[in-house]
Amino acid sequence: MRGRVENFSILIGGKAGFGIDKSGSIIAYIINRLGYRVYVYRDYPSIIRGGHTFSIIRSSSDRIYSHRNSVDCLLALNQDTINFHKSRLKSNSIIIYDADAVRCEETCPVKDAIGIPIAKILKEEGAPEIMRNTCIIGSLSKIIGVEWIVVEQVLKKEITKEIDLNLAVARRGYDQVNTLSFSKSLDRNPLPLLTGNEAIGLGLIRGGIKAYISYPMTPTSPILHFLAGIADDFSLKVIHPESEIAVILMALGFSYCGMSAAVGTSGGGFCLMTEGLSFSGMAELPVTIVLGQRPGPSTGLPTYTSQTDLPFALYAGQGEFPRLVVAPGDAEESYFWSAVSVEMSRKFQIPSIILVDKTVCEGTYNFDINSIDEINLEPAPLWDGKKPYKRYAVTKTGVSPLAFVPDKDAVIKVNSYEHDEYGITTEDPVMTVQMQNKRLRKEKFLMKEAARYETVKSYGNKDSSIILLCWGSNKGVCVEAAEKLNIKVVQPILLSPFPIDEFKDAIKGAEMIISVENSATGRLREHLGRYGINIDKEILKYDGRPFSVDELEDRIIAVQNSAIAPSPFSSPPKGERAG
């Protein structure tokens, strides 16, 4: 690690429930204060205490959006951290460990292993066990060359309880070691650090939501907690009802009253919301759904990641109705497309779905508000006050002018049954066709509105005939790997209605398209098949963990060197479809 602090990775590990996640965030904030760019990957089991949890904090002088398997510094608060992660160490990596809980001397896999007498320090300071983390953070900061004043400032901001004692323990850890690698602050301002969930929450507020309703479900639970913490600042109603069914129906109730609402869930909760989703489609009540993917079926791996719910998002619900489905790939895209989803949902009176996963939701990114395009949609049409009011008036665009309760001059009737323009139930065949055509007509104008934005993005060598195809959270890892391998990346963000013309233009001239997904069956490949797009090869990973940059680079090279594209349903050749 010496001499290259500008691009390095730190792993901190220990028992679940012992503050590893918070410690990873504090390390990220310390490095960020020096002007470096940071990405944090979190891994934890679905238990409150016990098991093993760890965070990888990666820093670079350039923007980064993914982690690497190899690490330069391992912070071991228990023996499992060394046992589980020694394969990540390089010959010049450093281990900093709790000398009172870890035995590293006899079988140490690296030259530099530094034991800190944490238990002794805590006893002398009268500090609780949870402050082991603070002590080892202090040691790390000294070793990588961070000035104490920076450590002190970050701890004072991030720790709200017993800050003086935490500072004393951190200082003891800091003074225990020598500087092995010197870093100086870069001549630029730090960029804020946000998780994907926080970026989504801020984007929903930017889009104009007045209510957020959610039943906690990993990986979107932090949105509920984040928005509850800032609700008073934005006059926002944040509600935790008794079930996901209550969540969606309550959101539609807000929508009926003219208050934009969003909900958050994962696959199991979305299952329960599907009847409400169809109600949204029939009653033309806008609602925005944040759908955080995780491995299934059923409960699956509740704290890990996947990209398996794309067909579910595209086709959930009975009947036929238009919807917006977007899949952002980082914090800025999460902010932007969350805002756009709320506004488009409101304007076209349809449900919108923000399809994310644990990697995007719980990853920590630098956030650059100045890199985000302007969001400037025309508002939904409002009723002109001329009686009688027709809630479902037939229009050229399929979008009916709105009025809201308690307007005394309008009877505002919404209906989950088929209905006429007034909202009165009907089974008349002519009216049924007329109203169905009205609803479906919105999709054409929705697509036209979406075309104002960059719905398909390209990166890397734009002239390459080899295209790496990705969606959602794989954007960052694919872009970094493609830049090293000098190939092109294509990332569709809008998935429904699908911008087929823009996508075909992006893949023009391709001789090989390699799809990268966190699924076992290739959900994007299935979706593109509907539009006559063929994928040559696939790199699939479905063990619940995201791709690392070094892993993906190796697998791309293996696929490029493979002469025959595998059948997507045959036994996967090693290095291509293996999970």
The answer to the question of residue 391 being in a domain is no
Write down the pLDDT at residue 395: 96
533 has pLDDT over 70: yes
CB atoms within 10 A of CB 425: 11
* pLDDT band, very low/low/confident/very high, at 387 (cuts 50, 70, 90): confident
Distance CA(425)–CA(420), nearest Å, equals: 7
User: Which of 317, 318, 315, 293 minimizes the C-alpha distance to 304?
Assistant: 293
Q: What value does the mean pLDDT of the chain take?
A: 92
* Average of per-residue pLDDT across 356-365: 98
Residue 49 has pLDDT above 90, yes or no: no
Average pLDDT (225-250) is: 97
| Residue-level pLDDT at 109 | 73
pLDDT at 577 over 80: no
Model pLDDT for residues 15-31, shown as the tens digit of each residue: 888 899 999 999 999 99
Q: What percent of the chain has pLDDT over 70?
A: 95
Helices (H), strands (E): how many in the chain?
18, 20
- Whole-prediction pTM: 0.94
**100 in the same domain as 197:** no
In this prediction, residue 201 has a pLDDT band, given cuts at 50, 70 and 90, of very high
124, 142, 175: which is the final residue of a domain? 175
pLDDT value of residue 575: 39
In a domain, 415, yes or no: no
Same domain, 225 and 330: yes
Query: Would you state the structure tokens that stand for residue 4, as one six-digit string?
Result: 């290259």
What pLDDT was estimated at residue 184?
65
Give the pLDDT of residue 107: 63
Tell me which of 401-410, 431-440, 532-541 is least confident.
Answer: 401-410
Predicted local distance difference test score (pLDDT) of residue 181: 63
Q: How far, in Å, CA of 355 to CA of 275, rounded?
A: 19
More confident position, 413 or 112: 413
pLDDT at 182 exceeding the cut of 60: no
The whole domain housing 545 covers 456-560
In this structure, the answer to whether residues 100 and 200 fall within a common structural domain is: no
Work out the average pLDDT over 432-460: 96
The predicted structure's pLDDT at residue 50: 76
- Within a domain: 429: no
Q: Are residues 121 and 205 in the same domain?
A: no
Mean pLDDT of 67-84: 94
Together in a domain, 145 and 274: no
Indicate if 298 and 341 belong to the same structural domain: yes
pLDDT, tens digit, 9 for 90 and up, residues 137-175? 999 999 998 999 999 999 999 998 899 999 999 999 999
**pLDDT score of 391 more than 90:** yes
Rounded average pLDDT over 476-503 = 97
Residue 86 and residue 231 in one domain: no
3-state DSSP of 302-367: CCCCCCCCHHHHHHCCCCCCCCEEECCCCHHHHHHHHHHHHHHHHHHCCEEEEEEEHHHHHCEEEC
Mean pLDDT of 46-51: 80
For residue 129, what is the domain's CATH number?
Answer: 3.40.920.10
Would residue 116 count as lying in a domain?
yes
Last residue of a domain, one of 336, 371, 406: 371
Q: Are residues 202 and 271 in the same domain?
A: yes
pLDDT of residue 180: 72
CA distance 147 to 58: 19
Is 315 contained in some domain?
A: yes
Q: Mean pLDDT throughout 368-376?
A: 90
The domain boundary residue, chosen from 121, 143, 175: 175
Rounded mean pLDDT, 176-202? 86
Given a cut of 80, is residue 571 above it in pLDDT?
A: no
Least trusted range by pLDDT, from 41-50, 102-111, 133-142, 306-315? 102-111
pLDDT > 90? residue 375: no
CATH number, residue 332: 3.40.50.970
Mean pLDDT to the nearest integer, 129-135 = 94
pLDDT for 578 equals 40
CB 545 within 8 A of CB 305: yes
Which token pair is 458?
A: 């390209």
* Cβ(331)–Cβ(196) below 8 Å: yes
Q: What are the start-end ranges of the E strands in 399-523? A: 456-460, 466-469, 488-492, 494-496, 512-517
Q: Is 509 exposed, middle or buried (0-12, 13-18, 19+ CB in 10 A)?
A: exposed
Task: For residues 303-331, give the mean pLDDT.
Answer: 97
Specify the residue for token string 């619940």. 544
> Using CB atoms within 10 A of its CB, is residue 75 exposed (0-12), middle (13-18) or buried (19+)?
buried
Look at residue 63 and tell me whether its pLDDT is greater than 80.
yes
Residue 398 lies in a domain: no
User: For the chain, how long is the longest CA-to-CA vector?
Assistant: 86
Task: Give yes or no for residue 4 having a pLDDT over 70.
Answer: no
CA–CA distance, 431 with 415 (Å, rounded to integer) = 14
Higher-confidence residue of 327 and 2: namely 327
Res 355 pLDDT > 50: yes
Least trusted range by pLDDT, from 183-192, 320-329, 495-504, 551-560: 183-192
CA dihedral in degrees (98, 10, 134, 168; nearest 10)? Answer: 100
Q: How many domains does the chain have?
A: 3
CATH code at position 490: 3.40.50.920
pLDDT class of 568 with cuts at 50, 70, 90: very low
Residue 571, token pair as written in the block: 């036994």
Which of 73, 354, 418 lies closest to 223 in space, CA to CA? 354
Tell me the average pLDDT across 241-265.
Answer: 97
In terms of domains, do 317 and 463 share one? no
CA neighbor of 331 nearest in space, from 544, 108, 37: 37
User: Are 212 and 288 part of one and the same domain?
Assistant: yes
Which of left, alpha, beta for 459 (phi over 0: left; psi -120 to 50: alpha)?
A: beta
CA dist., res. 137 & res. 131, Å (int): 10
Residue 569 domain-assigned? no
* 83 and 16 together in one domain: yes
Q: Write the CB contacts of 342 (distance below 8 Å, at least 6 apart in sequence).
A: 203, 204, 207, 208, 209, 260, 262, 288, 352
CA gap 355, 308 in Å, rounded: 10
114 vs 187, residue with greater confidence: 114
In a domain, residue 513? The reply is yes
Q: Lowest mean pLDDT: which of 199-213, 397-411, 455-469, 536-550?
A: 397-411
- At 92 the pLDDT is 87
pLDDT computed for residue 106 by the predictor = 64
Percent of the chain with pLDDT over 90: 84
Asked if residue 517 and residue 463 are part of one domain, the reply reads yes
